[in-house]
């Protein structure tokens, strides 16, 4: 407990009421001119509808402004005295650390990136406290067979390299039930009882050892706390889109999270990663409920994190934001389309929270958190409605003064937080005060603001589509999240994503120019974004522009100029032992299979990680034996993906096939296997000759006479 119970109730009450009153005053100031205008137009039904939409939107804008202003005020005063990160007693370092599991759910991710981060965090924890009580779990739901096998190899070689056996674990789920929340629940059911805390990370998350350890100590010091969420800093951006995003998160993020902590206090939100959770109450109270199957929104909750925070709070445990804890990082999507793909899922998940707004027992603050998540997306169709309705209703009357004052007021509420962010950054960074540092900050903020003004209507149109699709569409598929993209989106992807919006914006511009030409300059602010979205989206996705901007000193963040050890380590390629197949074979769609059956080293790793088959029915045994036989005698092409998966999941069949192909000379394997086997051995003999220092003239490829066969295999 940060304050004693008596004081805490008073402080929380005062803060929340103060926050609400401040919001109401600002909201009222913005409402009056608009209401006057509606009044002057005679309280028509359209006018009242517009006023209602405006009231909701203004409340949202005012809330954002209040968060930033409160955060700025608190940070200027040296930070909030009521914050979880200030609760650690001076002698906490001496206490033994509790058993803590660091869990990383993954789903067809970049294997090297994931395991490099795990290695960096593991070593960082070892350096900080000597490890011991921290166990790392990579919880795989990968459906791609090649990725699965690559993960197993990476786990083994990483554990070998850092001597992490017994502290770094890997678990692959056979059935990826209920996505990420199901993956975590599966961990809890299997091993949750062994740990007091669980630190949840995303596949693109990284935390320093110091931050991981501090989170565990903070939980120890505050036994009534159920979840502590850290404020993650976006890092490692390469494209222009990522770099601008991470700059914005660096400049404005601290203000908003400090402001949120001011009123949320022990009722903060949980964002699903880079957070620590007390496992016992989590397992008891936070299992995800099933929603009724009604329309596209039903069944499993996709955005489980906010609900888990609300359930934890309902159970009487506190949820805090350690917004000032340093060393918590994640990456942003590489480009706009990848970001929108993620937003589609988030939108659907947040709208599912509508069902939970009336759930009994939840605190008011939890309901507000759920509501804010919903409004993050529902705000877009409301903005669109407002933009369409307002000119239709008012501009025929040319009542510009009131419209102008509303416009200026809302614009100020939107832009002042950016100015405050820049001022805070300059004030809190001594290096920026010297030379042209402060002007660089203003320049970068101005450029970012122009970019966000152009992009805002593009996002509005997409979010409107997402909201529509969530209510009336076919639901949302759980796909792999795109975290890196070397080449960026293709032009055809961009055209199919943005062309419709561009045409609508052009048509609107022509219409407005014909009917109310005076309005066109105002509307250009909104219409310009969708019109230029295709080239803009391509430019933002560019890695070379990202690199150029970095070289020129635009949108720099401290993690770029002075990266911590953990981030430096992630930038290095993950070193696994090279596979022993010619490059052409590696392009085979069945490359993973080829390796797991043929290569003794990889077969050993794969089989060792599978559970021993329970003595199943004779029918199952015969089925698997028949599949194994077909696989060897007819080649992998004759098996369906489901059959391949069944074979890969069975340790005995995998071992038997491996031994047969190496030891049974009488077995007539398919041409595919015969060729692969010969090429594989030929290649390894040559490598061995080279390793012994004998003269060799190969190019690292299979000999010429076998290239035809290699190509056959490579094409699957």
Partner 1 sequence: MNKLMSQTGSESAWGEARLRLEDYLRALRLTDDNNWREEIVARLMKQAAVDAAQSPGAEPTRLLMKQLNAAVARWAGHMNCSPELAVPAGLINWFALEPQARRPENFLPENNSPGRPLPSGVQLVRATPDLRISRMVPLPLANPLLEAVSLPARIGKLAREQQRKLRQGTSAALTVLPTWLGVRLH
In the complex, the residues that contact partner 1 under the rule CB under 8 A are 135, 155-156, 159-160, 163, 165-166, 169-171, 185, 188-194, 283-285, 287-294, 311, 355-360, 577, 580, 598-601, 603-605, 607-609, 612, 651-652, 655, 659, 662-666, 680-681, 684-685, 688, 691-692
To partner 1, the closest distance from the beta carbon of 116 in angstroms equals 19
DSSP letter, residue 477: -
- Please give the Cα distance from 355 to 385 (Å, whole number): 24
- Please give the Cα distance from 527 to 530 (Å, whole number): 6
- Please give the Cα distance from 386 to 526 (Å, whole number): 12
Contact by Cβ (8 Å): 479, 551: no
The tokens 């993950």 sit on which residue?
574
Tokens of 359: 């759930």
Q: Measured from the CB atom, is 27 or 137 closer to partner 1?
A: 137
Rounded to whole angstroms, what are the CA distances from 651 to 125, 159, 574, 647, 675? 34, 22, 28, 8, 25
- Please give the Cα distance from 92 to 94 (Å, whole number): 5
Specify burial of residue 707 (Cβ count, 10 A radius: 0-12, 13-18, 19+): middle
Q: Measured from the CB atom, is 90 or 692 closer to partner 1?
A: 692
Element (H, E) at 100: strand 100-106
To partner 1, the closest distance from the beta carbon of 709 in angstroms equals 18
- Please give the Cα distance from 322 to 600 (Å, whole number): 48
Q: Measured from the CB atom, is 173 or 342 closer to partner 1?
A: 173
Q: Measured from the CB atom, is 406 or 713 closer to partner 1?
A: 713
To partner 1, the closest distance from the beta carbon of 526 in angstroms equals 35
By residue count, the chain amounts to 716
Q: Measured from the CB atom, is 193 or 575 closer to partner 1?
A: 193
Q: Measured from the CB atom, is 496 or 608 closer to partner 1?
A: 608
Contact by Cβ (8 Å): 655, 648: no
To partner 1, the closest distance from the beta carbon of 278 in angstroms equals 14
To partner 1, the closest distance from the beta carbon of 79 in angstroms equals 37
Q: What is the dihedral of CA 447, 448, 454, 456, to 10 degrees?
A: -160
To partner 1, the closest distance from the beta carbon of 665 in angstroms equals 5
Q: Measured from the CB atom, is 185 or 709 closer to partner 1?
A: 185
Q: Measured from the CB atom, is 293 or 551 closer to partner 1?
A: 293
Rounded to whole angstroms, what are the CA distances from 41 to 27, 50, 394, 398? 22, 12, 8, 11
To partner 1, the closest distance from the beta carbon of 466 in angstroms equals 21
Helix axes 111-129, 145-162, angle to 10 degrees: 20
Rg (CA), the chain: 29
To partner 1, the closest distance from the beta carbon of 622 in angstroms equals 18
The tokens 């019109």 sit on which residue?
531
To partner 1, the closest distance from the beta carbon of 292 in angstroms equals 4
Distance linking the first and last C-alpha atoms of the chain: 61
100-106: strand order across its sheet: 168-172, 134-140, 100-106, 197-200, 275-278, 225-230, 318-322
- Please give the Cα distance from 346 to 302 (Å, whole number): 7
- Please give the Cα distance from 199 to 274 (Å, whole number): 7
Q: How many H-runs (helices) and E-runs (strands) does the chain carry? A: 28, 10
Contact by Cβ (8 Å): 169, 136: yes
Q: Strands 233-234, 197-200: parallel, antiparallel or unpaired by DSSP?
A: unpaired
To partner 1, the closest distance from the beta carbon of 662 in angstroms equals 6
Q: How far is CA 437 from the centre of its chain?
A: 32
- Please give the Cα distance from 149 to 593 (Å, whole number): 8
Q: Measured from the CB atom, is 160 or 561 closer to partner 1?
A: 160
Contact by Cβ (8 Å): 358, 560: no
Residue 673, classed as helix, strand or coil, is helix
To partner 1, the closest distance from the beta carbon of 631 in angstroms equals 19
To partner 1, the closest distance from the beta carbon of 153 in angstroms equals 11
To partner 1, the closest distance from the beta carbon of 226 in angstroms equals 15
Tokens of 513: 């120019």
To partner 1, the closest distance from the beta carbon of 189 in angstroms equals 5
Q: Measured from the CB atom, is 659 or 715 closer to partner 1?
A: 659
To partner 1, the closest distance from the beta carbon of 194 in angstroms equals 6
């Amino acid at each position: 407990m940060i304050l004693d119970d008596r004081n805490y109730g008073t402080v929380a009450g005062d803060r929340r009421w103060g926050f609400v009153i401040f919001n109401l005053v600002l909201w009222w100031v913005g409402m009056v001119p608009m209401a006057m205008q509606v009044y002057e137009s005679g309280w028509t039904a359209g006018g009242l509808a517009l006023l209602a939409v405006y009231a909701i939107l203004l409340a949202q804008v005012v809330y954002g402004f209040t968060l930033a202003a409160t955060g700025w005020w608190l940070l200027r005063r040296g930070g909030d005295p009521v914050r979880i990160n200030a609760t650690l007693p001076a002698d906490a370092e001496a206490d033994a650390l509790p058993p803590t599991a660091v869990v990383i759910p993954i789903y067809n991710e970049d294997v090297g990136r994931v395991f490099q981060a795990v290695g960096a965090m593991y070593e960082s924890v070892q350096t900080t406290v000597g490890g011991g009580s921290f166990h790392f779990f990579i919880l795989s739901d990968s459906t791609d067979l090649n990725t699965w096998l690559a993960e197993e190899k990476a786990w083994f070689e990483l554990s070998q390299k850092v001597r992490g056996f017994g502290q770094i674990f890997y678990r692959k789920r056979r059935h990826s039930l209920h996505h990420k929340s199901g993956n975590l629940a599966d961990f809890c059911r299997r091993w949750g009882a062994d740990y007091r805390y669980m630190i949840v990370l995303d596949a693109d998350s990284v935390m320093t050892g110091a931050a991981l350890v501090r989170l565990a100590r903070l939980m120890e010091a505050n036994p009534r706390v159920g979840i502590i969420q850290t404020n993650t800093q976006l890092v490692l951006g390469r494209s222009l889109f990522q770099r601008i995003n991470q700059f914005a998160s660096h400049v404005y993020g601290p203000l908003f999270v400090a402001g949120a902590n001011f009123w949320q206090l022990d009722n903060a939100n949980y964002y699903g990663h880079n957070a620590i959770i007390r496992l016992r109450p989590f397992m008891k109270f936070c299992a995800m409920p099933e929603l009724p199957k009604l329309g596209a929104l039903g069944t499993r909750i996709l955005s489980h994190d906010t609900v888990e925070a609300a359930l934890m709070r309902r159970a009487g445990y506190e949820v805090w934001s350690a917004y000032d804890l340093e060393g918590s990082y994640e990456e942003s999507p590489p480009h706009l389309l990848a970001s929108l793909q993620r937003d589609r899922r988030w939108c659907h998940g947040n709208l599912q929270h509508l069902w939970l707004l009336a759930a009994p027992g939840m605190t008011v603050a939890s309901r507000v958190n759920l509501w804010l998540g919903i409004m993050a997306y529902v705000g877009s169709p409301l903005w669109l409605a407002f933009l369409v309705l307002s000119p239709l209703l008012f501009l025929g009357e040319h009542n510009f003064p009131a419209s102008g004052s509303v416009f200026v007021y809302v614009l100020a509420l939107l832009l002042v937080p950016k100015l405050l962010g820049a001022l805070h950054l300059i004030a809190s960074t001594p290096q920026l005060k010297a030379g042209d540092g402060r002007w660089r900050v203003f320049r970068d903020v101005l450029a970012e603001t122009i970019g966000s003004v152009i992009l805002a209507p593009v996002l509005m149109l997409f979010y409107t589509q997402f909201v529509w699709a969530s209510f009336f569409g076919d639901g949302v598929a759980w796909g792999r999240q795109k975290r890196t993209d070397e080449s960026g989106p293709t032009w055809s992807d961009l055209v199919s994503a943005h062309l419709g919006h561009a045409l609508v914006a052009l048509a609107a511009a022509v219409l407005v120019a014909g009917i109310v030409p005076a309005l066109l300059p105002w509307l250009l602010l909104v219409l310009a974004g969708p019109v230029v979205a295709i080239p803009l989206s391509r430019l933002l996705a560019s890695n070379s522009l990202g690199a150029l901007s970095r070289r020129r000193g635009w949108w720099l963040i401290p993690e770029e100029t002075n990266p911590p050890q953990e981030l430096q380590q992630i930038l290095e390629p993950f070193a696994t032992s090279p596979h022993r197949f010619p490059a052409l074979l590696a392009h085979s769609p069945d490359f993973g299979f080829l390796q797991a059956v043929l290569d003794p080293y990889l077969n050993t790793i794969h089989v060792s990680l599978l559970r021993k088959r329970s003595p199943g029915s004779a029918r199952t045994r015969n089925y698997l034996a028949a599949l194994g036989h077909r696989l060897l005698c007819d080649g992998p092409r004759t098996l369906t993906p489901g059959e391949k998966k069944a074979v890969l999941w069975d340790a005995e069949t995998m071992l038997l096939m491996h031994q047969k192909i190496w030891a049974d000379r009488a077995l007539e394997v398919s041409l595919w296997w015969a060729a692969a086997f010969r090429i594989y051995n030929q290649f390894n003999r040559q490598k061995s000759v080279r390793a012994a220092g004998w003269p060799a003239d190969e190019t690292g490829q299979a000999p010429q006479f076998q290239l035809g066969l290699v190509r056959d295999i490579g094409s699957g």
